[in-house]
């Protein structure tokens, strides 16, 4: 092993003097800004590991002891349940989807595009003239929810810019949300030990929850304990601005869960059942009440200001997303895209050979803008001959090849999402490429 240079030792010492939360946020933001040619699965797994390490660090600061040996982290592929824990035997296994960081960040980035970091004595604010149109934000939010619901992949078309300050807000919200979810799973593992090792603490955490089911009570207790774990060192110095933004991220994790429940009810046309987990809205109320009880009365309004601002913005976006007017408009937009995709394919197939150079670039743009199953259903219809679902003829074979080629050229990870839905043969084995990149 080579010795570290004097300059490297100096940089390490400087990093130790910087707030670890700032280091984590900066590192994750750096990963998110890397070129799209990098392996997205590898980057997502790195983000999960960093959030997990930070959650364990804060738990150590809160409890005064290391809890890392009580848990093992298992990172599941994108599309799995976002975060769960198996408490059947120690060490408890915390399972986190690699899709967790990308999905959370896609939503936090949308919110950040309509806000800005706030000064030490103000709530998030921004000149309305520099915000993206409200309708565009709603479309992007719906697209994020649709893709994750339809394919299980954290995919969204995000060809829009945000400034550096907004990137800080989006990254901060996402990072704190990820850490809170990790702390929540850690809390479940600790709760399994509290009846024997700390019954008084468990009794305090369960205060006011006596009249609900055991499953719901454990979820509320896990949220309360996760709050203290996420705060970290109990007697450490407190930066009000930093704590306000951190809490906004913790509450954002539950806000996203709440609106996801609502989306699933609408998308599946069936009621969301709350057998093991209470409604996310109730969990937010429980979390905010617990946070307020930890605060001096005079500080509560300021420390909740960021969370209230984010909550109001998110609810306004989602309410618009579920409005009949928006739902009707998105169907019309996707029907227009579907017509254009088909008309363009027919037009580009009129020559002796399909005109890929003209079709593929525009088709890629159209496919990335899908907001519903309307466009994907058309892709399934046009590529049916390639799957043997329709007899081949000169016309439909050329059109199918054009659409197939456009899908093959989609950027990652949208490529994998579309391939999962269409079940078309691979022109390029990207999965093999990913495997080689992991080595």
- Identify the residue with better confidence: 42 or 218: 218
DSSP 259-270: HHHHHHHHHHTS
pLDDT of residue 128: 52
Cβ neighbour number for residue 197 with a 10 Å cutoff: 10
Q: Stretch 315-325: mean pLDDT, rounded?
A: 93
pLDDT of residue 433: 45
- Identify the residue with better confidence: 181 or 237: 181
pLDDT of residue 268: 72
* Contact partners, residue 174, CB within 8 Å, separation at least 6: 28, 101, 104, 105, 108, 109, 249
Q: Kindly state the tokens that stand for 304.
A: 């909740």
pLDDT tens digits, residue range 179-220?
Answer: 999 999 999 999 998 888 888 999 999 999 988 889 899 999
- What is the rounded distance in angstroms from the CA atom of residue 124 to the CA atom of residue 166? 10
48, HSE (Cβ side, Cα atoms, 13 Å): 24
pLDDT of residue 432: 52
- What is the rounded distance in angstroms from the CA atom of residue 68 to the CA atom of residue 404? 47
pLDDT of residue 24: 47
pLDDT of residue 154: 64
- Identify the residue with better confidence: 238 or 417: 417
pLDDT of residue 132: 76
- What is the rounded distance in angstroms from the CA atom of residue 258 to the CA atom of residue 282? 9
Bridge partners, 76 (sequence order) = 97
- Identify the residue with better confidence: 321 or 275: 321
pLDDT of residue 121: 45
Q: Stretch 293-317: mean pLDDT, rounded?
A: 85
pLDDT-wise least confident of 3-12, 53-62, 127-136, 270-279: 3-12
Helices of type H across 70-163: 100-112, 134-151
% of the chain with per-residue pLDDT over 70 = 77
411 has pLDDT over 90: no
Residue linked to tokens 């400034």: 163
- Identify the residue with better confidence: 13 or 132: 132
Coil, strand or helix: which one is 299? helix
Residue linked to tokens 């429980």: 286
Instruction: Work out the mean pLDDT of the chain and round it to a whole number.
Output: 81
Q: Stretch 411-434: mean pLDDT, rounded?
A: 65
Confidence of residue 438 (pLDDT cuts 50, 70, 90): very low
The closest alpha carbon to 307, from 113, 122, 121, 123, belongs to 123
375 has pLDDT over 60: yes
299 has pLDDT over 80: no
Q: Kindly state the tokens that stand for 76.
A: 């599941």
436 has pLDDT over 50: no
pLDDT of residue 173: 93
% of the chain with per-residue pLDDT over 90 = 38
Q: Kindly state the tokens that stand for 342.
A: 């088909």
pLDDT of residue 55: 96
pLDDT of residue 158: 61
pLDDT of residue 429: 58
423 has pLDDT over 80: no
Q: Kindly state the tokens that stand for 424.
A: 């078309």
Q: Kindly state the tokens that stand for 116.
A: 């800005």
123 has pLDDT over 90: no
425 has pLDDT over 90: no
Bridge partners, 280 (sequence order) = none
């Amino acid at each position: 092993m080579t010795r570290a240079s004097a300059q490297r030792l100096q940089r390490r010492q400087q990093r130790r003097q910087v707030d670890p939360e700032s280091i984590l946020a900066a590192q994750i933001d750096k990963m998110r800004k890397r070129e799209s040619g990098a392996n997205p699965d590898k980057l997502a797994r790195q983000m999960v590991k960093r959030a997990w390490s930070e959650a364990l660090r804060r738990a150590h600061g809160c409890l005064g002891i290391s809890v890392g040996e009580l848990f093992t982290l298992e990172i599941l592929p994108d599309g799995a349940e976002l975060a769960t824990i198996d408490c059947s035997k120690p060490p408890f296994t915390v399972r986190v989807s690699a899709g967790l960081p990308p999905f959370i960040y896609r939503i936090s980035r949308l919110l950040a595009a309509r806000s800005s970091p706030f000064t030490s004595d103000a709530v998030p604010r921004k000149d309305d003239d520099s915000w993206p149109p409200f309708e565009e934000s709603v479309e992007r939010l719906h697209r994020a929810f649709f893709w994750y619901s339809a394919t299980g992949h954290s995919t969204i078309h995000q060809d829009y810019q945000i400034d550096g300050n907004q990137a800080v807000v989006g990254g901060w919200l996402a990072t704190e949300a990820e850490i809170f979810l990790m702390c929540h799973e850690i809390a479940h593992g600790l709760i399994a030990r509290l009846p024997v090792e700390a019954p008084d603490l468990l009794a305090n955490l369960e205060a006011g929850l006596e009249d609900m089911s055991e499953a719901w009570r454990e979820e509320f207790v896990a949220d309360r304990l996760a709050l203290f774990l996420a705060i970290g060192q109990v007697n450490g110095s407190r930066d009000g601005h930093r704590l306000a933004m951190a809490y906004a991220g913790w509450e954002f994790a539950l806000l996203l869960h709440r609106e996801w429940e609502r989306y699933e009810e609408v998308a599946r046309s069936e009621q969301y059942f709350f057998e093991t987990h209470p409604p996310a809205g109730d969990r937010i109320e429980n979390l905010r009440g617990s946070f307020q009880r930890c605060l001096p009365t005079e500080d509560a309004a300021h420390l909740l200001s960021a969370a209230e601002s984010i909550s109001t913005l998110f609810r306004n976006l989602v309410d618009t997303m579920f409005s009949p007017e928006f739902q009707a408009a998105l169907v019309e937009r996707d029907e227009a895209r579907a017509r254009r995709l088909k008309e363009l394919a027919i037009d580009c197939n009129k020559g002796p050979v399909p005109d890929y150079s003209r079709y593929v670039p525009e088709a890629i743009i159209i496919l990335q803008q899908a907001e519903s199953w309307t466009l994907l259903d058309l892709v399934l219809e046009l590529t049916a001959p390639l799957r043997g679902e329709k007899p081949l003829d000169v016309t439909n074979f050329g059109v199918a090849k054009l659409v197939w080629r456009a899908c093959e050229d989609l950027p990652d990870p949208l490529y994998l999402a579309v391939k999962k839905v269409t079940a078309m043969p691979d022109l390029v084995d990207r999965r093999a490429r990913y495997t080689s990149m992991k080595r």
